[in-house]
Chain A
């Protein structure tokens, strides 16, 4: 149980375009979803927290207009990187907690974004 998927696993895009990453909880209802960013050989940095049906809470320094997060249902959250630039290239990982597992985050497999 507690499986989280992400799509796509890898995406390459041109500078200035927008990219959408999906995060789904497959076998549980995700009351809260988290989006992290990880640079090579670094730890995970929390970008934002989202609860279903509410606006996301962004961490300090994360641009809300650049990283759009939507948590429209209890099984789906999306992260849209708008007007992507090469410095947005990174590994993006989502995680989710459920109603019965509020203290444990289960992570998706990650999405590697490369902006040319």
Chain B
């Protein structure tokens, strides 16, 4: 069975602080994809990143960075110099043919 755990239900940080959202997954498969999606108050899910299980290279995109560690089954997401527009619910997801979502982390950036 596959499972995605986002232990942090809600996080609040002051603007310009860095914040890391944790994601731990469980699967017995060796080939899979991991995703992060952002869901702002409008409701639309915005695709942020896809990572396949064979690529453990960390990725940086502007203020966003992702740390994939297969040894600990984690795929954490860091926002540096946070901004109010980053306030949203962030979902980590695992794809093994079917997308399994974590429960989401509600991030609030305080101005």
A interface residues (Cβ-Cβ under 8 A, vs B):
2, 34, 41-44, 46, 49, 91, 93, 95, 103-110, 112
Contact = CB atoms under 8 A, between A and B. Distances in A.
Interface residues of B, number: 20
B99 A34 contact: yes
Nearest to A91: B43
Nearest to A93: B45
A57 B55 CA distance: 31
A44 B50 contact: no
Contacts of B46: 107
A106 B42 CA distance: 16
B44 A109 contact: yes
A46 B99 contact: yes
A95 B39 CA distance: 14
Contacts of B47: 2, 104-107
Nearest to B98: A46
Contacts of A103: 33, 50, 52, 95
Interface stretch (B63-71, B77-85, B100-108): B100-108
Nearest to B95: A103
A88 B52 CA distance: 36
A110 B44 contact: yes
B43 to A, nearest CB: 4
